[in-house]
Amino acid sequence: MGLRRSEMQSFRVLTPRDVDFMEVAPENWIGVGGRFGEQFRDYTRQFPFYAHGLSLSIGSPSPLDTGLIERIRHFLDQHAVRAYSEHLSYCSDEGHLYDLLPIPFTEEAVHYVAARVREVQDRLGRRIALENVSYYLTAGQDLTELEFINAVLTEADCDLLLDVNNIYVNSINHRYDPMAFLRGLPGERTAYYHIAGHYDEADDLKVDTHGADVIAPVWDLLLEAYLLYGVKPTLLERDFNIPPVPELLAELNQVKQIQHQALSLGAKDCRPQRVNG
C-alpha cells in the first residue's frame, strides 16, 4: 500500500504479514526530519519500500533536474528502496505544471525521452521503471500509445511499471481493447504493478482518481497480467477517500486472492523473497 503522511498513525497497526511492501513519492519525504522523519524511518526499517516519483518530468522540454536526481539517489540508497518508478509523461516547462501531461506519440519523442531515461539511470546507478499513464488528449500521434510505450522502453532499456487501471481507463476514453493492449506490452520488463479505482464521469469517460474501489473489469485485467507476465509485487493505490485500515486490507486481500488464483492456473511467481521484520 502507499504510505501517506495522513496515514502514519493509522498504519502503525500493520505488520509485514498484512502488507508485503509500501510505496512513497520520494519528493514528499526527501529532507523530512523531526518527528515525521523518525516515524518514516520506523516504517522503512520494518517494510520493504518502493518509490514512485512525481517530479522527474521525463518528457519535458526543459533540462533534467540533476539536483533532484541526486537527491533521489541519496533517498533510494538511504532507505534501501527496492525499485524506483516514474510516469511516462511530463509535468514541467520553465516551472512545475502540477499535472501529468501526455508526451506526443512520435518517433522524435521516443528518441528524446529514451535518451533522458538513459541519463537518469546513469545518474542513479540503477534501472528505473516507467508507468503507462492515463491521458485524456494527445498532442501528436504518429504512433499508437502501445507503439510509443514499446519503443521508449526498448530504446531506453528500462523497466515497466504496469498500471492495470490506467489501461482500463484509457481503453474506455480512447476506444480500444484493454486485453489486446495488455498483451501487446513488453510485459517481461514489468518491475511491479499498480491497481486502483477511478471515477465514472460518463459511460465513455473515466477519470483516474485513485479514490474509489477497484472494479471487476480491472481485477480481470490484473489476473490476465499475472498469467501473461507473472505474479509480481502489486500496489493498491488509494490517494483520497481513504477508508479505515480494515477496509483497505480487505481490498488488499483481493489482490492476494488473485495472485493465488493466478499461481494455481500456472502463472510464474516472480515476487521477491518475503521480508519479515
The type of residue at 127 is: R
Global pTM? Answer: 0.94
CB 23 within 8 A of CB 52: yes
Q: How many CB atoms lie within 10 A of CB 189?
A: 19
First to last CA, the chain: 17
Cell of 53: 516519483
Cell of 240: 483520497
- What are residue 96's DSSP bridge partners? 92
In angstroms and rounded to an integer, the radius of gyration of the C-alpha atoms of the chain is: 18
Over residues 33-86, the pLDDT tens digits come to 898 999 999 999 999 999 999 989 999 988 999 999 999 999 999 999 999 999
Over residues 2-46, the pLDDT tens digits come to 999 999 999 999 999 999 999 999 999 999 989 899 999 999 999
Nearest one of 203, 265, 206, 259 to 234, comparing CA atoms: 259
Over residues 179-206, the pLDDT tens digits come to 999 999 999 999 999 999 998 888 888 8
3-state secondary structure of 207: strand
Cell of 142: 504518429
Cell of 29: 519525504
Q: Cite the DSSP H helix spans in the chain.
A: 34-46, 66-78, 107-124, 145-156, 164-173, 178-184, 216-229, 245-264
CB 202 within 8 A of CB 176: no
Q: What is the pLDDT, as a whole number, of residue 274?
A: 62
